[in-house]
Amino acid sequence: MTADRRGWRMALVPDALINPPPRARAAPDVLKALESSGHGVLQLPPPGEHGLLLAVIADQVAEYAHHGYAVVAVGLAGRPDDGLHWRRLAPLLRRRRVALPPRHIIRAGADPEDEELRLAAFLAAHDLPLEEQRRWRV
Amino acid sequence: MRKVALVANCLLNQNAKVCEGANYRGVVSPVVESLRSRGYELLQLPCPELAFAGVRRWWAVYEQYDTPAYRAHCKRLAQAIAPLIEQHLRRGDELILIGLDGSPSTGVRFTSSKPEWGGRPNRPQDDWEIVPRRGIWIEELEAELARRGLPAIPATGWALDMGRFDEAGSRSDLEQFLDSRASAAPARGKRRAAK
């Protein structure tokens, strides 16, 4: 088996940013940006009732957050709850004793290059404190 | 009609893999590139092992996970994701499933097997068989879709858990599957039109 290459960082991402409609292709390619920064993806479903699925996602975020992984969220302005189901997800995370992940919101209609730079800066800036990284990431 | 690929959780997030099992930092880029370049949207499946045995779990074979409790857990996850899959199928979207060949849970064409295996893991001495069979999560997911009266979804696996990982070979294998779908599409369209 090869050395483990996991990046220990991941992002909650709305369906609308993983599967942007063709007319939105000019917006920053969030999946590409996450690939480049070494983040994994936790996909959130499109708008709708997804009670059980959101609970399953919250369980997974809790497992990561309690064991040395950094979790952030990247939303899309102009969508209900920025596409992140935050009104449902936040209480589910609190109930699991998870600090709410830092959020970055992509501005719809803004210059895609600016948005790419803002996103890259956000992704680079968020990780666990070094002491926590050393504790878990052996 | 949209083209949608149901993808194993760890193909978008390698942090879900067992200890010592991650081959990428996060996203498995060759899978995503192959799918997106052919117009597929992505729908990430939940990871059953992570939510059951945790992120610090060791590797295991099919028989170790083949318990009533794990199957009940997989069934619950299938019930969580099935409404989204059903919505796509009822709309007439073209769906495919990309699992993880060799995985005890997410294997599609192959899973790992060793009926007598147990106790403390001992790499690299540990050895198991690769057998042609679905993993337990895929079995339970397909059973849930069948309970809902939905058709079987064409499926293949990215060969990450087959022992020695060959990225170029896995990519070529995946692209062959995708391209065979594309070349069969006109025939499928004609059959529908003739009805």
Mean pLDDT within A46-61: 95
Residues B54-75 have a mean pLDDT of 95
- pLDDT at residue number B160: 77
- Check whether A29 has a pLDDT greater than 80: yes
A7 to B26: CB separation less than 8 angstroms, yes or no:
yes
Question: Pick from B55, B83, B165: which is nearest to A63 by CB?
Answer: B55
The pLDDT value given to residue B66: 96
By CA distance, what is B124's nearest residue in A? A1
Q: Where are the domains of chain B?
A: 3-194
Mapping DSSP onto H, E and C, the string for chain A reads: CCCCCCCCEEEEEEHHHHCCCHHHCCCCCHHHHHHHHCCEEEEECCCCCCHHHHHHHHHHHHHHHCCCCEEEEEEECCCHHHHCCHHHHHHHHHHCCCCCCCEEEECCCCCHHHHHHHHHHHHHHCCCCHHHHHHHCC
- CB contact under 8 Å between B46 and A18, yes or no, is no
Q: Does A8 touch chain B (CB under 8 A)?
A: yes
Question: What's the average model confidence in pLDDT over A106-115?
Answer: 87
**B91 exposed, middle or buried (CB, 10 Å; 0-12, 13-18, 19+)?**
exposed
Helix (H) or strand (E) holding B136: helix B136-147
Taking the domains of chain A in order of start, what are their residue ranges?
9-133
pLDDT more than 90, % of chain B: 74
pLDDT tens digit string along B110-167? 999 999 888 887 776 778 889 999 999 999 999 999 999 999 999 999 987 777 778 8
* Reported ipTM exceeds the 0.90 cut: yes
Mutate to test the interface with A, among B24, B27, B38 (most CBs of A within 10 A): B27
Q: What is the pLDDT of residue B11?
A: 97
Residue B15 in this model has a pLDDT that exceeds 60: yes
Residue A2's pLDDT band, with cuts at 50, 70 and 90, is low
User: Predicted confidence band at A132 (pLDDT cuts at 50, 70, 90)?
Assistant: confident
Closest CA in chain A for residue B74: A56
Contact B26 A35 (CB under 8 A): yes
Report yes or no: A24 at the B interface, CB cutoff 8 Å: no
Chain B residues inside the 8 Å CB shell of A4: 17, 19-22
More confident site: A137 or A123: A123
Could you tell me which CATH class the domain A9-133 is placed in?
alpha beta
Closest-CA residue of A relative to B54 is A63
Any B CB within 8 A of A69 CB: yes
Above 60 in pLDDT, residue B189? no
What is the tens place of the pLDDT at every residue in B33-53? 999 999 999 999 999 999 899
